[in-house]
Structure 1
Amino acid sequence: MTEKTTDDNKKAKSKEVCGYPISIFFIVVNEFCERFSYYGMRAVLVLYFRYFLKFDDDLATSIYHIFVALCYLTPIMGAIIADSWLGKFKTIIYLSIVYAIGQVVMAVSAINDITDSDRDGTPDNLTFHIALSMLGLILIALGTGGIKPCVAAFGGDQFQDSQAKQRGTFFSVFYLCINGGSLLSTIITPILRAQECGIHSQQKCYPLAFGVPAALMVVSLVVFIAGSGMYHKTKPQGNIMLAVCKCIGFAVKNRFKHRSSAHPKRTHWMDWAEEKYDKLLIAQIKMVLKVLFLYIPLPMFWTLFDQKGSRWTLQATTMDGNFGAMILQPDQMQTVNPILILTLVPIMDSLVYPLIKKCGLNFTPLRRMTVGMFLAAMAFVAAALVQIQIDKTLPSFPSATQSQLKVLNMGSNALTVILPNNNPIEIQGAQATVQYLTFEEESITVSLQNTEISRTVVLPREKRQTLLIPSNLNGTWDVTDDLMEKPEQGANKIRFVNGMAGAVNVSAWGESFGSIASSRASNYSLFLNGKVTFTISDGANTCDYSREFGFGSSYTLLIPSNFTWGSTCWEKISAVEDIQPNSFHMGWQIPQYFLITCGEVVFSVTGLEFSYSQAPSNMKAVLQAGWLFTVAVGNFIVLIVAEIAQMEEQWAEFVLFASLLVAVCVIFSIMAYFYTYTDPTAIEAQFRDTDNESHQEKLEMKKEHSKESHNEKDDEHNQTKM
């Protein structure tokens, strides 16, 4: 309960626990749940676009960054609504409801009751799922962005003026909750996504990965409402951003209005607002504009930083996530960032910065930010080096004028195959050519050495095929269509080829390959990494065959012609590697995450402190809005640069972004060199004194004028009497 004070201007004193208002505990829990909800949903978002909605890499990246940009544009709207209309409390409530609805819509959009024929997991009504997803993301952007500038400030409002120490502790805990929620969610939601779920067929469990964040957002809202009776709720006081915009608008309008007249020149263009606005307000706006000018190059940092949730996550899908004791999902690599933040922030503050100061170096905030930008650029150089190594492990698929062929010997005897433009190739029994052979011809003749047996094989353009040579060489030689891309999300695609005389059935994990006829191949089935046991049966006999699979591979498992049933039947089965598993380890991404996080700590934390120190007392929210706006612009730059560059090689795009940031870093360092640090408090005090003197002079002049008018009236009255 809240005990009202008699003075309406004083805060209501609420119950306290350990010297802290009990109301802040509801706010802290609310923030933790909300950040879990946001970062948990965002962690799996780009993979949802890529593998559920079937967007390509570029479109998935574009939609992801548009969403992030909107999340950092809407805080301006939230601040205006809270300060000018609803107040912080009602703004948080109403926009949290919008937020929760958006999360629920996202979870519903991922529900896909697929049939057995939809084996690739493509939704039956893709357009409906896309529309629902976009609606959910818009609602989430409105919600999370709208409450962003309100929650922390609302928490600060709960403290009395005498509780400055407790208020400082609250903001530290508040920041910890943000990173704690981010860390836990980026660990948990990728695990939920990786689960297999479905009604008719197993698929990645995006409904659960989005559903848990939705539930946490509902909990966040309920907890916040539960503390309603304990909060101190300030009424809207008017938005300073609107006053700033009006003052700037008047100055610009007045300047152009008198551009051709004989008015005296002003020292600064904002001085043209002096006819209507106080000099103090104008001086404060000048300080803000001075800092905002420095913000111009900053979006380029965020252009690189936010790609760790898009391009870097997609990069991780082509890597090996086996860390021995645990298997990391591609989207779980993002947890490295919050872990390093929680580690590096205290190290930088208590060790690195003091050490630099002891060395006699003047490591100013703007110099720190310059170093942060350079570190982010180096992170993308590291990402480019990693991508080059990954590309070496990726299969080389045929171009528009080529086709590829592999030859598989299903018999038990070795064969020597003669192919055009190739030396004779010896293929052992139950084996295949090691690599796919590339051809420009539309058809070729395949013959066996020392025999008169040959076959003509048609080679479709831009396709991979496998030629199946049966043990009965005079029988039918079948040709299969093979995969033309690596399996998605680090899974493995497996098929069986039956070299025996009779048909067999194969199944594993409830997935059936169906009946496989003699000298024929099954369709591909998708399996996660790890050990898989296949059961082979001809109706009368069964055989279990187990194999360990890595990430992103494709295998053709051959049941040879000399296969025999029994306890050692599995020894006869051979595995032909069509696409090699991801071999470049995901741990190689850690250096780039380390560099980008060091850059974030030096750039972002310092930038916020610098903005706070250089901002007038009543305009810190204006600079906060400007800072968030640079994040939004940075995400739009990703789309613009990627669209203009249109680079085929991902490593080249990483190098391009790194080069752009280095160029911007040089520009920013020059701007920082000419920047003069100010003391807003001293400037404000100076102009307050000036305004008070001016106000006093105006009062004196008004009194003098009033006295003169009164004397004139007395003279007139006396003359009338005479």
Structure 2
Amino acid sequence: MGLSEVARLPRQIPYIIGNEACERFSFYGMRNILVQFLVSSVILAYVPETERQGVAKDVFHSFVIGVYFFPLLGGWLADRFFGKYNTVLWFSLIYCTGHACLALFESDRSGFYTGLFLIALGSGGIKPLVVSFCGDQFTSANKHLAKLVFDGFYWTINFGSFFASLLMPLLLRNLGPAVAFGIPGVLMFIATILFWLGRGQYVRVPPSHGTDPDAFFHVARTALLAQVPGKRRWGLLVASAGALLAMAMLSCWALQVGFGVAPAFWPQAFHFVITACLALGTLIAFGGIGVSMQLERARGLHPDAAVDGVRAVLRILIVFALTTPFWSLFDQKASTWVIQGKAMSIPHALWWWPSWLVQEAGQMQALNPLLIMLLIPFNNIVLYPVLRRLGYQPTPLRRMGWGIMFAGIAWVIAGLLQLQIDNGVPTSLAWQTWPYLLLTFGEVLVSATALEFAYSQATAGMKGVIMAFWYLTSTFGSLWVLLTNVAVRNETVTARIASSGYSENAFLMFFFALFAFVAALAFAAYARTYPMQDNYRMA
């Protein structure tokens, strides 16, 4: 095999990259105007004006939870039944329908929320598959190009996101929600067509159809159920306790909604989304611990490679869990930071401020994808080589840990800006550039790196599912936000915040910064013992 063949980029990659760029414009185009639309729309007309910002944030983060929950469904359907290509294509059509609902039902709550649900289902369904489908196009012979493509993949995502973040707030302001939500729908349709056009050139790894006796869940079930003479099945007890606890959570919600019976120990503010996420997290945590406790019992009943593969997945899930605080900070840039920006003054008098273009606080979100397009090449060409020459190896896990830390620093600065606003000091919107810069640097270190990390660590039969688990970290990130929003509606918590001398917004910003710092330290401690894997497809 010649060097030119080894180094050849698969010719089907541009179809996938083009599809992702348009899809990301579509997604971020509607996502980044959602909160500011809801705050002033008739959709929330039933909510007192003083509470609309909080309710809009709840709707936004509930939507984000759905977007990052449905990857579980998409990954399962692709691995078990339909394969990645078919699943992506069909979910894309659902996605297009959701956008149409937003444009058509801008004044109808049921129709609008139906659109949000369909977008969450469609976007979430394809989310774990496009990246792993892109990875399937590579072999061990050209895997050295995969990192460049994954970075290019992420760069292109943000190319679409940049124009969406910049233009959609202006379209919402000047042309109304029907047009502002309709244009992302057109882009999603184009994305679907681009993906379909490459159908004859893709490498399609067939689905497992559940026939692999050594798949992850089969090995996990064997480990939990296997009996060893003279030993108790403590792992099964732990997993069963998790299942019972999850059922109890859902039962509390059902009793409250269906019969008006509110158990004293169950908060009434825990609606279905919060309850379902808590139940899912409980299942994953207790089930993972239980399997880990008894995993060696599967050895001999399954090949050693399969048992070791399950152990690797369980380690990956711990890494993923420790990144969830990052996402609780990151996703609030489209809610909390936009609301903060509306209380700041737009510095039209500054000579360098593009007054002809930036007219809304929500447009500051365009800084995120713009900075990503600059930081990814800067890191690869300048920062990482310099660090290596200095003797510091920027491994994926080290990058991710530092990324969480930088997100915390960004929120400290946002909190300081909020203190100025609360004290009546005129504060320029330009100051938000610093939190966006630090948060975006953190995102590049965490999210762009995780695309490479998640694909390389998962075994062949679990790549779609492990990517779904990665995206599930954003679900739990938004869950922490919803739980915090519930907490600040409690009179005891509200009184405690008031006694601190800070406003609620400032207090929460410093709280989330501390949350990130603690998570970064825990991540660093675990990363020191993590054994890296190499699971690219052989040529």
After TM superposition, the score normalised by the length of structure 1 is 0.57
CA drift of 1:58 comes to 1.3
The answer on whether the counterparts of 1:108 and 1:207 sit within 8 Å (CA) in structure 2 is yes
Q: Within 5 Å, which residues of 2 pair with 1:215-226?
A: 215-226=186-197
Q: For residue 301 of structure 2, what is the aligned residue in structure 1? A: 276
Name the count of aligned residue pairs.
449
Q: For residue 210 of structure 1, what is the aligned residue in structure 2? A: 181
Asked whether 1:138 is paired with 2:134, we answer no
The one-letter amino acid paired with 2:531 is Y
The answer on whether the counterparts of 1:617 and 1:680 sit within 8 Å (CA) in structure 2 is no
Distance 1:590 1:97, change over 3 A: same
What is the rounded CA distance, in whole Å, between the counterparts of 1:286 and 1:308 in structure 2? 35
The partner residue of 1:246 within 218, 221, 246 is: 218
What is the rounded CA distance, in whole Å, between the counterparts of 2:145 and 2:390 in structure 1? 34
The one-letter amino acid paired with 1:181 is G
CA drift of 1:256 comes to 8.6
What is the rounded CA distance, in whole Å, between the counterparts of 1:108 and 1:619 in structure 2? 39
The one-letter amino acid paired with 1:333 is M
Q: For residue 531 of structure 2, what is the aligned residue in structure 1? A: 677
Q: For residue 342 of structure 1, what is the aligned residue in structure 2? A: 373
Asked whether 1:668 is paired with 2:534, we answer no
Asked whether 1:374 is paired with 2:405, we answer yes
The partner residue of 1:149 within 112, 128, 134 is: 128
Aligned-pair Cα RMSD in Å: 3.2
What is the rounded CA distance, in whole Å, between the counterparts of 2:40 and 2:206 in structure 1? 47
The one-letter amino acid paired with 1:597 is T
The partner residue of 1:287 within 293, 312, 315 is: 312
The one-letter amino acid paired with 1:31 is E
Q: For residue 428 of structure 2, what is the aligned residue in structure 1? A: 585
Q: For residue 500 of structure 2, what is the aligned residue in structure 1? A: none
What is the rounded CA distance, in whole Å, between the counterparts of 1:177 and 1:678 in structure 2? 27
SS in 2 for 1:297: helix
* Deviation by residue 1:215-253 (Cα, 9 ceiling, x = unmatched): 111222233334445555554333689921221122112
CA drift of 1:146 comes to 0.8
CA drift of 1:164 comes to 5.7
Which has the greater radius of gyration?
Answer: 1
CA drift of 1:152 comes to 3.5
Ranges in structure 2 where 5+ consecutive residues have no aligned partner: 1-6, 234-290, 495-502
What is the rounded CA distance, in whole Å, between the counterparts of 1:167 and 1:369 in structure 2? 19
Q: Identity percentage over the alignment?
A: 33
The answer on whether the counterparts of 1:322 and 1:328 sit within 8 Å (CA) in structure 2 is no
The one-letter amino acid paired with 1:390 is I
Q: For residue 602 of structure 1, what is the aligned residue in structure 2? A: 445
What is the rounded CA distance, in whole Å, between the counterparts of 1:170 and 1:670 in structure 2? 30
The answer on whether the counterparts of 1:303 and 1:635 sit within 8 Å (CA) in structure 2 is yes
The answer on whether the counterparts of 2:32 and 2:334 sit within 8 Å (CA) in structure 1 is yes
* Deviation by residue 1:486-511 (Cα, 9 ceiling, x = unmatched): xxxxxxxxxxxxxxxxxxxxxxxxxx
Q: For residue 427 of structure 1, what is the aligned residue in structure 2? A: none
Q: Within 5 Å, which residues of 2 pair with 1:68-79?
A: 68-79=64-75
The answer on whether the counterparts of 1:75 and 1:625 sit within 8 Å (CA) in structure 2 is yes
After TM superposition, the score normalised by the length of structure 2 is 0.75
CA drift of 1:138 comes to 0.7
* Deviation by residue 1:68-126 (Cα, 9 ceiling, x = unmatched): 1211111121122122222223212211111000000011121x5xxxxxxxxxxxxxx
CA drift of 1:187 comes to 1.1
The one-letter amino acid paired with 2:55 is L
Q: For residue 58 of structure 2, what is the aligned residue in structure 1? A: 62
Distance 1:356 1:25, change over 3 A: closer
The answer on whether the counterparts of 2:79 and 2:461 sit within 8 Å (CA) in structure 1 is no
Asked whether 1:305 is paired with 2:330, we answer yes
The one-letter amino acid paired with 2:318 is F
What is the rounded CA distance, in whole Å, between the counterparts of 1:335 and 1:302 in structure 2? 18
Q: For residue 519 of structure 1, what is the aligned residue in structure 2? A: none
Relative CO higher for 1 or 2, CA cutoff 8 Å, sep ≥ 6?
Answer: 2
The one-letter amino acid paired with 2:19 is N
The one-letter amino acid paired with 1:249 is R
Q: Within 5 Å, which residues of 2 pair with 1:11-30?
A: 23-30=12-19
Distance 1:147 1:603, change over 3 A: closer
The answer on whether the counterparts of 2:67 and 2:121 sit within 8 Å (CA) in structure 1 is yes
What is the rounded CA distance, in whole Å, between the counterparts of 1:241 and 1:336 in structure 2? 48
Q: Within 5 Å, which residues of 2 pair with 1:486-497?
A: none
The answer on whether the counterparts of 2:412 and 2:513 sit within 8 Å (CA) in structure 1 is yes
The answer on whether the counterparts of 2:214 and 2:306 sit within 8 Å (CA) in structure 1 is no
What is the rounded CA distance, in whole Å, between the counterparts of 1:308 and 1:633 in structure 2? 16
Q: Within 5 Å, which residues of 2 pair with 1:51-450?
A: 51-52=40-41, 53-54=43-44, 56-110=52-106, 112=107, 129-157=108-136, 171-195=150-174, 197=175, 205-229=176-200, 231=202, 233-238=204-209, 243-254=215-226, 259-260=231-232, 269-323=294-348, 324-326=353-355, 327-361=358-392, 363-393=394-424
